[in-house]
């Protein structure tokens, strides 16, 4: 029901707030407080390009990945609370779904009765209202992802052994570029333009993960293969979870091809709900895997 979907943002806000508090407490416990990862900067000691030039690795500061995890949980909780306050149940939309649901039980979504649905003016207004609400909530979600997912990539980079500030920054910028392309694709009315932004975003996002997996492989080779199974399992699990979002985004874009306004908005509503579930699963999994990896360093 749409009511439960609106309330879901409220439930997730409370859940992520609780997770943020939990990981903040874990971050100050001895086992995690002492499990710090140095963030470094490689600088040349002479003129770059000369054979005699050497490089020094400077430790800028120590990062606590568990504390970063608590931060992106707090950020997510705030934005879910905003979406919850903006979300409203449209009664006419609920009634329309019930009516159309009865039609679907007699056939399928491609039946003639749904290709040319007979809609009242109130039902048409309800469809338009729900569509605008979904668009507004997606705007806030993209804003939240630009912050939380970039912090998540920072954590993944640190856990994978990437400590150079420039490399971490490149991963963060690539992830931010992917998010911006996804958000711009939502705003483009022309369908081919939507797909171009989608595919460009996939390419930019893959660049960030290429750096991560390259580091994991190098780490495993230098360690004689001793560390690669654990780190690779973490990176692969998070990679699959991250890229499940691209599948949902593809389904969302495809909904604009549907000539039936009811089915198009219904699909977009379902996809938006799927995004919330995937986001909660990805963030929860990342937090647990990060805590497990930090225990090995304590």
In-domain check, residue 51: no
Pair 93, 119: CB distance under 8 Å: no
Pair 261, 127: CB distance under 8 Å: yes
In-domain check, residue 181: yes
Highest mean pLDDT among 50-54, 97-101, 127-131, 221-225: 127-131
Pair 44, 54: CB distance under 8 Å: yes
Domains in the chain, number = 1
User: What residues make up the domain containing 212?
Assistant: 89-295
Q: Is the pLDDT of residue 240 over 80?
A: yes
In-domain check, residue 28: no
In-domain check, residue 57: no
In-domain check, residue 180: yes
Q: 173: number of CA atoms within 13 Å, CB side?
A: 6
Cα four-point dihedral sign 115, 116, 118, 119: positive
Predicted pLDDT at 230 = 65
pLDDT digits (tens, 9 = 90+) for 203-226: 998 988 988 888 888 877 776 655
Name the burial class of residue 110, with classes exposed (0-12), middle (13-18) and buried (19+) by CB atoms within 10 angstroms of its CB: exposed
Largest CA distance in the chain: 79
CA distance 232 to 229: 5
Average pLDDT, the chain: 78
Predicted pLDDT at 74 = 94
Alpha-carbon distances of 214 from 1, 167, 218, rounded to whole Å: 44, 12, 6
CA distance 90 to 122: 11
As a whole number, mean pLDDT of residues 79-99 equals 73
Of the pLDDT bands very low, low, confident and very high (cuts 50, 70, 90), residue 19 is very high
In-domain check, residue 70: no
Read off the CATH number of the domain in which 139 is found. Answer: 1.20.1070
CA distance 81 to 12: 8
Predicted pLDDT at 106 = 46
CA angle 49, 55, 57 (to 5 degrees): 145
In-domain check, residue 60: no
As a whole number, mean pLDDT of residues 54-64 equals 82
Residue 111 DSSP label: S
CB atoms within 10 A of CB 185: 21
Q: Of residues 46 and 52, which shows the higher confidence score?
A: 46
In-domain check, residue 213: yes
Predicted pLDDT at 248 = 79
CA distance 90 to 65: 41
Q: Is the pLDDT of residue 131 over 50?
A: yes
Predicted pLDDT at 116 = 53
Minimum mean pLDDT range among 132-141, 216-225, 274-283: 216-225
pLDDT digits (tens, 9 = 90+) for 152-198: 888 888 888 888 999 999 999 999 998 888 888 776 554 555 678 88
User: Which element (helix H / strand E) includes 249?
Assistant: helix 228-254
Residue 213 DSSP label: H
Paired strand residues for 40: 59, 164
Alpha-carbon distances of 248 from 13, 108, 268, 272, 282, rounded to whole Å: 21, 22, 10, 8, 14
Pair 26, 66: CB distance under 8 Å: yes
CB atoms within 10 A of CB 3: 12
Pair 16, 73: CB distance under 8 Å: yes
CA distance 235 to 66: 16
Of the pLDDT bands very low, low, confident and very high (cuts 50, 70, 90), residue 95 is low
Minimum mean pLDDT range among 57-61, 69-73, 90-94: 90-94
């Amino acid at each position: 029901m749409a009511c439960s979907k609106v309330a879901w943002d409220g439930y997730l806000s409370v859940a992520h707030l609780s997770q943020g508090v939990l990981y903040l407490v874990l971050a100050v416990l001895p086992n995690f407080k002492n499990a710090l990862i140095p963030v470094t900067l490689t600088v040349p000691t002479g003129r770059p390009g000369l054979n005699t030039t050497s490089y020094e690795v400077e430790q800028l500061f120590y990062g606590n990945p568990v504390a970063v995890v608590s931060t992106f949980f707090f950020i997510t909780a705030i934005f879910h609370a905003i979406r919850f306050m903006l979300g409203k149940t449209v009664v006419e939309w609920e009634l329309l779904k019930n009516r159309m649901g009865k039609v679907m039980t007699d056939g399928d979504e491609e039946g003639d009765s749904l290709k040319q649905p007979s809609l009242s003016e109130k039902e048409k207004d309800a469809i338009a209202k729900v569509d605008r609400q979904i668009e507004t909530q997606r705007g806030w979600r993209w804003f939240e992802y630009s912050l939380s997912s970039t912090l998540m990539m920072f954590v993944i980079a640190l856990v994978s052994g990437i400590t150079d500030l420039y490399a971490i920054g490149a991963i963060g910028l690539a992830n931010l570029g992917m998010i911006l392309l996804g958000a711009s694709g939502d705003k483009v009315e022309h369908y081919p333009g939507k797909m171009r932004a989608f595919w460009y975003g996939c390419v930019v996002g893959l660049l960030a993960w290429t750096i991560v997996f390259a580091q994991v492989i190098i780490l495993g080779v230098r360690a004689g293969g001793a560390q690669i199974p654990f780190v690779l399992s973490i990176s692969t699990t998070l990679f699959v979870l991250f890229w499940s979002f691209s599948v949902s985004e593809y389904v969302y874009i495809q909904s604009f091809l549907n000539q039936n306004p009811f089915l198009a908005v219904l699909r977009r509503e379902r996809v938006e709900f799927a995004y919330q579930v995937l986001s909660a699963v990805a963030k929860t999994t990342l937090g647990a895997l990060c805590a497990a990896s930090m225990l090995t360093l304590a």
